[in-house]
Each structure stands twice: as C-alpha cells, then as structure tokens.
Amino acid sequence: MAKSIHIDKLLSGHFTGLDLLCSTGTIEFVTDVLTMQSSRNRVMYSITYEDFSFSLLFNDQDIILERCKNIIKHTLRSHDPEEKVSVRICFEPTKMGMLVGDSIFWEEQKRVSQDKMDEFLLSKYKNIDFSPPIHPPFSILSWARKEALAPVIDYSDYDSLKNAVSSAVVAIDEKILNSNMYLAFWNKRSKTKGGLPKLEIHNHNTLFGLMMDECLLKSLEVNQEPKAGSRNVDFCITGYIKSVGMRNVGIEVKNAHAEDLEQGLTEQLPYYMRQKEAEFGIYLVLWYKGDFFDEPKYEDYHLMEDRLHKIRNTNGYGKAIRIITLDLSGKK
C-alpha cells in the first residue's frame, strides 16, 4: 500500500499529521453546511501506511470517518447553507466515535439539565469498537521523521533517555483512566459483571498502541520483540544518544497475579536487558484485584510494590530497574 498523508487546508491549525499517527487522540473543528454541500468526495484528511489507514471524507450531506476499514457515517439533518457544524472525533486502540453538532443538536442540548449532560453527550456519539486493537505499524516512526511529522531528538545522555521512556510508560495509566478503557484488558467483562484478566501477551498490542503516542513525540522507537535467546520478551524502546549512538531500554510486562511475578523481576527482565545490552529496564505490572477479581494475595498494589522493591534492591537492580504498576481493576 502506498504511503501518503493529506490534510485539507480547511483543517489547518486544528491538528497536525502527527496527531493522525497516534493510537489515542481527539480531533475537533468547525465548518458549515455550505462547505459540505459543495463537497463531492472531498478528503478532509487521510493517512495511509502499509495496512494502516485513517481518513475523513465530506460527500454532500455525509461525513464519513474511516480507520483501518472501520467506518462511521453521519448524514447532516440541516440544509441551511449558513449553519455552523462542529465535528468531534475521538479514537483509541479499541474504539472510535464521532459527535456532530448541528442546530438540532444544540436545541436538544439546551433542554438537558446539567446533571444529565454527560449522559446526553455520550448518547449522541456514533461509536464503533475494534477487535483486535488498532495501532500504527512498528516502522512508522522512520517514515514520520522523513515526512517531517515527528521530531528528531538526540538525547544528551542515558539518564535523559531513561526518563523519556519512563514518562512514556507512566502516561499509559492516565490514558486508560481518562478514556475509561480498562475493559480492553479483560476477557468477558462488563462494567457491572465480573470477568477474567487477559493473559499478558494478549495485552501487548493494546499497550504498544498506548505507548506509541508518547514515543512518537519523544523520537523513540518501540518494538515488540518475539524472542531473546530462549526467553520470551516484551518490548524494546530505542533512542539515540549524542556521540554514543542507539541505546535500548527493556520492558517486561507481568500480571500481578502471575505465579512467576517475582521470577520475572529477578530473572526474565535482567536476562532480556543483557541480551539487548540495555542498562535500564522497566517492570510493568498489571493489577486487576478489586470488585471483580480477588488475586493476588496483596490487599493493595502498593504492598505488592513494596515487596518487589525489596527483591529488586536485594538483587542489586535498585538503579537499573524501575517498577511501574497499571491499575486495571476498574475502580472509579
């Protein structure tokens, strides 16, 4: 598939090409009915790269949103050419939605009480879910740099690289919370019923998509590694250090209730770091215990972290490994 990017001049200043490469984001702009009525298959934005695609099309009264062949279509209800129309697009690795505000929408909103406003707005979104999760391809960063979409950052030293990678991983927790997407990490789970946490490997695509946004902004390459030697591994993030060259940071993902939780910290991640010549690694623990799941034995994930910190320090990895926990229990 051809690699290309296009943003209509009408949308200039509302977002950049880099926003279209992210796995999670929001795009908003205002237009009018006349612009839409005079448009015939007008591509408002489009990006294609290998099997990844994301586009918005105006065609007469229709707004057509597409992401990797998943389509949402909205037909305007007004024919007044001077009427203003607002468009809001939200997307995540597991879903996307489009909210179109026309005169009918605004009149309906005026009749809604403030305590019902969130419920009203959500009801007006046209949504579609993705399975499996959608994220841009691994190799898109190099192309984005060539197209001047992504910045080129050379890190001054390894500590700067470590901090950049750590902040990219920490940002995952906030994205999950803000978008309420913890359900993507569960099997057969609803907001009110129990379920089973997914296996670690089944969360890799979702985690990759959530990390990639931050990595694009920080000029970091994130890759899923199939094997290192005879061990299973998870992610390798690479950045360029001035006068040194490319250097790696290893990431091991582990469910908090896994039987080999401690072994992953003392054996698997250190082995992976040696294989990749990484001086620093992140042990990313996924915590599910709450109203819907009762493992592991620790009452709180902070108690689990205390235990893991002691083990890490005893084994001499105090400065080489950082432990980060994602709370996926779904608590409000």
> Residue 103: what pLDDT?
85
* CA 204 – CA 213 distance, rounded (Å): 15
pTM of the prediction? 0.75
pLDDT score recorded for residue 228: 45
Phi/psi for 47 (5° steps) reads -135, 135
- Domains (range + CATH), the chain: 4-129 (no CATH), 151-327 (3.40.91)
Positions of E strands within 25-150:
25-32, 42-49, 52-59, 62-67, 70-75, 84-92, 95-101, 126-129
Q: State the pLDDT at residue 230.
A: 44
**pLDDT in the model for residue 173:** 87
DSSP state letter for 198 = P
pLDDT for the residue numbered 226: 57
Q: How far apart are CA 287 and CA 301, in angstroms?
A: 7
Task: In whole angstroms, give the CA distance from residue 219 to residue 141.
Answer: 8
Q: What is the pLDDT at residue 1?
A: 54
Residue 156, pLDDT score: 94
pLDDT of the chain, 332 residues: tens digit per residue: 578 999 999 888 888 888 888 888 889 999 988 988 888 899 999 999 988 999 999 998 899 999 999 999 999 888 888 889 899 999 988 889 999 988 888 888 889 888 888 888 888 899 999 877 888 877 787 788 788 887 788 999 999 999 999 998 998 888 888 777 888 899 876 555 667 899 998 888 888 888 888 888 888 988 876 544 445 558 999 999 998 999 999 999 999 999 999 999 999 999 999 988 999 999 999 999 988 889 999 988 999 999 999 999 999 998 899 999 999 988 65
pLDDT for the residue 77: 84
Enter the tokens of residue 243. Answer: 């006068």
Residues 9-27 have pLDDT tens digits of 988 888 888 888 888 888 9
C-alpha 54/C-alpha 217 separation (Å) is: 19
Comparing CA positions, the residue from 189, 222, 187, 185 lying closest to residue 203 is 185
pLDDT at 191: 57
